[in-house]
Structure 1
Amino acid sequence: MHITRRVLGAGAGVTAAVLVLVTGWQAGAAEEQVPGQGLYQVRGADTAVERTDVSRTGVDVLGVREGAMEVVAGPAQAAALRAQGFTVSLLGDWAAMLDARGGGVARAADFPAGDEGYHTYEEMVAALRSAASAHPAITAVSSIGSTYEGRDLPVIKISDNAAADEDEPEVLFTCNMHAREHLTTEMCLHIVDRFTSGYGTDDGVTANVDAKEIWVVPSQNPDGAEFDISGGEYQGWRKNRQPGDDGTVGTDLNRNFSYKWGCCGGSSGSPSAETYRGPSAASAPEVRAVQSFVDSRVVGGVQQIKGHIDFHTYSELVLWPFGFTHDTVTEGMTQEEYDRFTSVGEEMAASNGYTPDQSSGLYITDGDITDWMWGQHKVLSYCFEMYPSGGGVEGFYPPDEDIAPQTTRNDGAVDILLSNAT
């Protein structure tokens, strides 16, 4: 039996696609003025099916609201969308917007001036080591593998007896799948800080650490994240840094997971596309590392990880499987299971003010981590699209003053997931 869900349409508040105009650019600017990629508004995509048609052209979808999509595309892609009947308006030069957001010269190998509150890769590693040093009894830092460029992918375990593999439910938090989504690394580091510094003083934190084994991977794509801030300027980079046979760089890690990889038109086979799924399932070393780690938590034939959140930006959404189909009840998902996803997802969304929905309510995706976590291992897995609700290039690079309020905003949701990870 296949039960199809009602997809979100106009007025559902999927996200807020704020149209950011850089000085010197206005809607309707002559397209030939853009030497490369532009920021476009696409109208007429009122349903998930139509939004899927837009995403399948390989454009970089930034946000969706009430039928208006905000995408980064080249002139040829814009023309292809117009040929499909969509209304496409140029908002500005994407590269110029990134330059404007960079805002000055930063220290070497750091974020642009004014945003140094974000953690670089080395600062992230140092933060994990510092937490482990300060709280040795409840932490253990290790690695799940290496990136294409050879960077370590650290993971920290937080539990009352971290040195032992106890028979306790496990919960996994992963961040920074997409390079430019730096706020998510801060989200994972906040989780680490909260469950280490609060142990023994905060009753809720202490109870969770005593009863669970908490795993945190703050960056799944450090190669891409470091490239995104190279030269002290934002690059707007999404993918990893693995070159293909044609020399084109980058695989979209969140289209490269093995479950339903490339099955359903929810990713691109073109290496130049932002949603390029790679030449084969789990071809990216970062994806292989995550999958191998989760596979390793099968002990005695039972998956120990019971709950998972993969943090992204932006749009303020709580999403659950499946992304590859609009069906709710289908192969791998019973009505009872879907109802549980909905109940927990809506509870978490009520705590942080996000919008809850099945992943495919936006558009079809395949080969993503939440589908794999559930489809392969039956882990209660969610994708959080964090702050802001919209904003063009600004949406990926909120000022560092937003880190504290937007990470603590998810404390309640994290606790809800932990309480349901049984």
Structure 2
Amino acid sequence: MVRKLTRQNLTVLLSSMLISFLLIAVMLWLTARERQGSAAELAAVQLASNVAAMLVFNDPEAAQRELAVLGENRELSGLALYTAQGELFAGIAKLPTLQWQQQPIPTEPQRRYRGLEIELVVPVMVRDKAEGVLVVRERLHQLMHWFVRGLLIMSALMVVIYLFAARLLIKIQRKALSPLVALSALAEKVASERNFSLRAAVVDNDEIGSLTKRFNELLKRAEIWQTELSTELQQQAARGDELEHLALKDSLTQLPNRHSFGQLLHKMVTDSLNNKTMSALLFIDLDNFKFVNDNFGHDAGDEVLIEVSNRIQAAIRSDDTLCRLGGDEFALLLPKQVTPQLTEQVCKRLLQQISRPIWVKNAQMPVTLSIGVALCPEHSIDSATLLQLADEAMYQAKRAGKNGYQIYGAD
């Protein structure tokens, strides 16, 4: 037992020291890289300010001299100055000319890390107007050399600290655990047999005796808790089906609720990517539902929701799943054998189903559907993004006059 605990404690100590070492190393590298990146960015911004007038007065030779100064002072792997039209204005002969794809010039310096290099894109501004762009790439090899040397020193210190701490831990632990062997044996027996009715014998009234008394009290409480827990688990098992139903189903329509919808949507997207097939999400909003609630009452609104859900379910395939997200919002998942044409047919079929009169309290309910469609993987391979795109498409359908559908991205 003592050896086992010693091995475990030494393992925990080593693991803690390794984790601390790794965290310190990562933080040290990120901090050092960020500081060098900031220094490189500051130097590039200063250079961009210096060559601004040279760009305006078309003096590439002077600009090249300015670039050469930066190249001598920093560890560069590439440097180039371009005009606002994307033409190379100046560079350094001994350094590769960095390519810059002509695009809208950024208004602020941009910094990207590529392995052991920093790439900077700095606008050359003259009176708040971009006259050109400076592209700089700086190597981090010297920084990495310093970092590796620091890691070696830290590693040596960590080894010395660990050996000293392990030796001290073993000595202290053996001395402290020797009186607890008997109590440990009882604890192992209780743990293996799950018999909390066992009790330890109190030999003396010293600290170990006090610990034994507290251990016996703990066993007594555990025995009581075990009895209560067993009773509670039996009661929960009886209510399990009901709780599961409430957690995953909408109480009004008995459709899968928003929580269940999230799981179903994630599964649909995953299956679509794994099987390399197309699937579709239809975001459905009930038009004029607020008017129904305000003028006919919420009980009439509930009847409308039930009728709409029944009609939609009657119009879809057995593999498709209709969910209620809340209020007057529904979501329809089409997981299999989906094409854009099939999706449009489904939308038209749903609109036709709801266009038939819905009578509640001897009055025809003026409700229609607005449907937004997003396809996976065509529009997105992320569940949350797919839902957002379908929601945006639904609002496009509403703005187009309601009682219609809109596939995301389609005109």
Q: Same fold (TM over 0.5)?
A: no
In terms of fraction of residues, the more helix-rich structure is: 2
TM-score by length of 2: 0.21
TM-score by length of 1: 0.20
Q: Which has the larger radius of gyration?
A: 2
Instruction: Report 1 or 2 for greater relative contact order, CA contacts < 8 Å, sequence distance ≥ 6.
Output: 1
